[in-house]
Amino acid sequence: MESIMSNTTNPPVKGGAIVYLAVDGAVKAAEFYHKAFAGELARLYPPDDKGRTMHAHLYINGSSVMLGDFYPEHGHPVVAPAAFNVTLTVDDTDAWFDRAVAAGCTPKMPVSDMFWGDRYGQVQDPFGVIWAINGPVKK
């Protein structure tokens, strides 16, 4: 994935609450999110000599998702993602779920019609992040 850098202008931030993920392999995660969730790269800081990037910015489903690598030497140790999920509200839950699984996500909760009136499922990406996919029930 090509680095997109500008010294003067940051890309616009989209969405109300922005997800900022710390993952082990942010450049690879950005590439993976492109395949799994149709992510569009807005900005990617070039990797350092260890292959880590401090910042990547993608647009996924109309919102900004940002991520960076762990930097233990700067107080950001490697920790597994826990106690959260990233929820995508989409038009076609099954299509988003199937694309994510085809790209390499692990199904955690199969897509089904839920008691609250939507169609919902969960996948886990190779970096440990759980993604909830929610949309309308098919008619």
Whether 5 has a pLDDT exceeding 80, the answer reads no
pLDDT, one tens digit per residue, over 19-28 is: 999 999 999 9
pLDDT, one tens digit per residue, over 94-125 is: 999 999 999 999 999 999 999 999 999 999 99
The pLDDT assigned to 7 comes to: 53
The secondary structure of the chain as a DSSP string is ------SS-PPPP-SSS-EEEEES-HHHHHHHHHHHH--EEEEEPPP-TTS--S-EEEEETTEEEEEEE-BGGGTB------S--EEEE-S-HHHHHHHHHHHTPEEEEEEEE-TTSEEEEEEE-TTS-EEEEEEEPP-
Say if residues 42 and 10 touch (Cβ distance below 8 Å): no
Q: What are the chain's domains?
A: 19-71+83-136 (3.10.180.10)
The pLDDT assigned to 1 comes to: 60
